[in-house]
Structure 1
Amino acid sequence: MKKTTRPNVLWVSFEDCSPRFGCYGDPVARTPNLDRLASEGGLWTKAFTTAPVCAPSRSAVITGMHPVTLGTHHMRTNSGPHHGGKGVPRYEAVVPHYVRCFPEYLRAAGYFCTNRSKTDYQFIPPITAWDLPGGHWRDRPDPDQPFFSVFNLDETHEMAGWEGSFFGDNDIRLDSIEVPPYFPDTPVVRESLARVYAAIEHCDRRLGDILAELDEDGLADSTAVFVWTDHGPLPRGKRWPYDSGIHSPLIVRWPEMIEPGTINDELVSTMDLGPTVLSICGTEVPRHLHGRPFVGPDAHGGRDYVFISRDRYDEMYDTVRASRDQRFKYIRHYDPARPYMMWNSFRNNHPIMQEMWRLYAAGELEGPPAQTMADKRPAEELYDTEADPHEIHNLAGDPAHREILERHRNALEQWQHEVGDLGMMPEEMMVAQMWPGGVQPTTDAPKFIVVGAEHHGTEASPEGGTFKGPAILQMQSSTQGASIAYTFEDDPLPDPPADLDAQFAAALGHNPRGGEPPRRLLYHEPLRLPVGETTIRAVAHRIGYRRSPESVATFIVE
């Protein structure tokens, strides 16, 4: 097949969604658009997330790095376990200074990047991450400019299975649903699962609408389309490293590059999504990323292992690590004396969880459902996911599997050493390093430096000035790891809200000020100033830091 140069890329994420699709062999699901997309491209059977919960998983997707390396592994950073009291404060994760949201690399390469609209990365995305945070590929100023557009379909979120959800009135036949063996088979459980299927069908229709827009614009043949999720939706899935929590649907249609109807059984991490996009778009993949391309000329050919982390989720601290190869899953509990189901306020809203607590209190649970509610756990779990896809029969104590157990132990410990697992550090100590004294650091404002025949760039020009041309403008922030955004428009950028909650709300698409912020260009190379007068506004932003004040200067080139 011939190589496509600089394809457009479309991502559609189904939030909190296991692969309960027709194309994955689920007889209940009515997913014609997903099924058609898979038939026109490739379907991956063994794609897994880095964490079984939203924000840590998404932080890995947007950076191509493990959450435990970034310090984004606790869910959530903006609502600590001691909210309103002493202990860990609300914070943004300050990631290593060399880490970027990968769309910055695409923007520097000439791509128009949009995200409609969820971010949820454990940090507020810098203003440099997207051209338009809530935009559409149709918003690009040049119709010939290649694009990377993300659409997040959130109706499949965990709450879709709750009583009173939008999907309570549906025509899913309850007797057609296969109830996983770790749930009690009751009407409450079946009704919740039916709502999950209805939400998937709804989002399948939304996917169809997006693909129709692509067809209308004549872009289907030049666009690589990816469908994926951040984790699974159900108890014992979401927040847990079992396959029900980390198995992601992954479908890619890339005309002329992926044979229609391809089924791929290679082991893939959703952390590989960003590096894959960089690679197929002709942008060099930075070597510090943990993710590697799984499609295209640089495809890694399948991983030996994927690694998964579970840490603080809302009020609940629980350090668990897991590794999975093509067949076996290894889970290590760092505090096995704790019950499986510690208190989690949000999770306990789920009707399946409430049903299990009701039956547990009445002494009516037995078998795998009772095991799920056990008051302590083994230090290690090992499962043969081919023979035991629901991960019920723990083989960690089986002498016949001793060699496999040792191999996974060693692989997990080597991975933790290589990535610098910050989950081994108390969160309070980690945050003290990120926000010294509990105060969020602020990015230093950009400096303007003019270089030309008569100006050698030995001093900054904070207010601009008059210069003999030709003249080149450089911008630089003194904060290590800061990115810079700028505009020539006379449109000041409002300061971010002082309250961290409001900042996160704005980043999640709930901007109390209303409207989109003024668009800013990404500074990635010196600018040639035109003859005449030019006013430039610029801000700098390092991930986890407060955005800098705006620098404004006017330059006159004679």
Structure 2
Amino acid sequence: MNIKNTFATILFLVWIAASVSCTKQNDKPNIIFIAVDDLRPDLGCYGNTIVQSPNIDRLAAEGILFRNHFVNVPTCGASRQSLLTGMRPATRAHLGNNITEHTLSNKAEGTVPETFIHHLKRNGYRTVGIGKISHSADGYIYGYTDSISQKRELPHSWDELIFNYGKWETGWNAFFGYADGENRQSLNRQVKPYEKGAVSDTGYVDGLSAQLAVSKLKKLKANGKPFFLGVGFFKPHLPFNSPEKYWDLYDKESIPISPNPLVPQNVHPNSLHNSGELNGYQLGEEKANLTQPVSDEYAQKLRHAYYACISYVDHQIGLILKQLSKLDLDKNTIVVVWGDHGWHLGDQQVWGKHTVFENALKSAFIIKLPGNRNSGPISSIVETVDIYPSLLELCNIDMSHEIDGKSFARLIQNENSQWDNVAYGYFREGISLRTDRYRLTRYYREEKPVVELYDHQNDPLETTNIALEHPDVVEKLMPVLEKGNTGLFE
């Protein structure tokens, strides 16, 4: 064979290899990951007959609803760190909102990817972020009252970060924004914790984020590469602001207050808190605390506002799903809706997250796979750290590094598969273990009691700590709980 023919043969083989590689890459499923801030499982698909969430409910009916998903840390930044890295908190610093900035933002790119998004990027995915995926409102690091910086919170994960700041001019202003363009910071917290805005959907920033996502999907389809599109909606995070048409979906008088509005029996107040985040909105009509519950009327008003925000975000999610179908991308796209933690809506006399009770640790989590396959609910217990390896397995992408999370892909195929069925939560100097029946919590503090046990078979609202009455259960579960203490509390 002469040199000319040899060279032609080599070019042909290279072309074949490239074609095979391209075909394999294009066969990878796309991912739309929708993170919803402070979304507890108060949705129609989770059995709430008051909340109007038709688009998320439809997604759940077509996909997989995880009935028992628990976050690892009940605060925004730390919960998202566990999501992105697949790791449970290892130090007290990992319980703070700025943990991603401290551990990833100044780190050079190494062999181990900084996040699962980075791992997808290394495997041929086009990665685009809109809004709050890590802790930052727009993906850049700067203070609540600062100008926008160009320093990325995740320096290696994104091909592209986009955001429409609208009339608020910065991500954090938009995050805490009101319909007139002001925000919590500019008004020195002299604001109510809710607003019924006489505006359209784009009168608040989540409407602008949905528009960006709808527009970006066209470009991502034209690009031809598999893509990861992260969309981080702000509501129903405080302030509970949304257009009035979503408030008008509800009759406030028909909205029930919490079925468990009082501090649980046999617990120390340090297991809870005085709702400081809510009370920071200083024009609220009442102040919540552990001494005196708010009035039923005010509790209904706050729940009304929270539910209106859910319906507002549900509509934005519906716009994205509609565009996905219109572009015929739904046939090869995994769609995820994830709440970064729960929220006490007056439960246990608390308004907010930041506890290791069920209401703060349990959040909404839904996955829809291409072609509506494997639809149906899953009752097994999963943790946020499990999402990382599960998405990689669903995309047929290997990983050589170890993380704390484990793939639940086997549960999607067969829920009777072998599974540990436990979840760990961390906060308030405590570790909480959730099993299929019990929640066992141990606090590493001086104030007693330091051990709490709740029987979800007989007390699903966690009204009474029964640790002293059932030492046998505590003794059995404590070694399992201690497996989750990796030196965090010593």
Q: Give TM-score, length-normalised by structure 2.
A: 0.66
1:116 to 130, 135, 138: 130
- Are positions 1:182 and 2:248 aligned together? no
Structure 1 residues 205 and 272: alpha-carbon distance in aligned structure 2, compared to 1, 3 A threshold:
same
Aligned to 1:383: 454
Aligned to 2:80: 58
Residue type at the aligned position of 2:454: Y
Matches within 5 A, 1:141-540: 143-160=223-240, 170-180=248-258, 181-182=260-261, 184=293, 186-234=296-344, 235=350, 238-256=353-371, 258-260=373-375, 262-295=376-409, 302-310=419-427, 318-337=428-447, 378-398=449-469, 401-416=470-485, 420-424=486-490
**Counterpart contact for 1:309–1:322, Cα < 8 Å:** yes
- 1:207-266 CA-to-partner distances (Å, cap 9, x unmatched) read 000101111211011111111111113336500111100111111111347333x11101
2:121 to 107, 112, 120: 107
Structure 1 residue 39: Cα displacement: 1.1
**Counterpart contact for 1:68–1:422, Cα < 8 Å:** yes
- SS of the equivalent of 1:113 reads strand
**Residues of 2 paired with 1:141 and 1:121: CA distance?**
28
Larger radius of gyration: 1
Structure 1 residue 402: Cα displacement: 2.2
Structure 1 residue 296: Cα displacement: 5.7
- 1:382-418 CA-to-partner distances (Å, cap 9, x unmatched) read 00123212111111001xx3222112211121221xx
Aligned to 1:93: 103
**Residues of 2 paired with 1:170 and 1:141: CA distance?**
37
Structure 1 residues 381 and 279: alpha-carbon distance in aligned structure 2, compared to 1, 3 A threshold:
same
- 1:91-130 CA-to-partner distances (Å, cap 9, x unmatched) read 7236997462111111111111111121444985332111
**Residues of 1 paired with 2:315 and 2:354: CA distance?**
28
Residue type at the aligned position of 1:285: M
**Residues of 1 paired with 2:237 and 2:437: CA distance?**
28
Structure 1 residue 186: Cα displacement: 1.2
**Residues of 2 paired with 1:149 and 1:173: CA distance?**
36
- SS of the equivalent of 1:248 reads coil
Structure 1 residue 166: Cα displacement: 5.8
- 1:61-102 CA-to-partner distances (Å, cap 9, x unmatched) read 011111226942224459xxxxxxxxxxxx723699746211
- Are positions 1:10 and 2:20 aligned together? no
- SS of the equivalent of 2:94 reads coil
Structure 1 residues 296 and 115: alpha-carbon distance in aligned structure 2, compared to 1, 3 A threshold:
farther
- The sequence identity of aligned pairs, in percent, is 25
- SS of the equivalent of 1:17 reads coil
**Counterpart contact for 1:237–1:244, Cα < 8 Å:** no
1:41 to 59, 63, 70: 63
- SS of the equivalent of 1:199 reads helix
Deviates more, 1:180-189 or 1:51-60: 180-189
Structure 1 residues 106 and 276: alpha-carbon distance in aligned structure 2, compared to 1, 3 A threshold:
same
- SS of the equivalent of 1:114 reads strand
Structure 1: 5+ residue stretches without partners:
79-90, 311-317, 338-376, 425-558
Q: Give TM-score, length-normalised by structure 1.
A: 0.59
**Counterpart contact for 1:71–1:422, Cα < 8 Å:** no
Structure 1 residues 285 and 326: alpha-carbon distance in aligned structure 2, compared to 1, 3 A threshold:
farther
- SS of the equivalent of 1:277 reads helix
**Counterpart contact for 2:444–2:489, Cα < 8 Å:** no
**Residues of 1 paired with 2:475 and 2:351: CA distance?**
25
2:44 to 18, 22, 37: 22
Structure 1 residues 213 and 256: alpha-carbon distance in aligned structure 2, compared to 1, 3 A threshold:
closer
Higher relative contact order (CA 8 A, sep 6+): 2
Structure 1 residues 422 and 139: alpha-carbon distance in aligned structure 2, compared to 1, 3 A threshold:
farther
**Counterpart contact for 1:236–1:242, Cα < 8 Å:** no
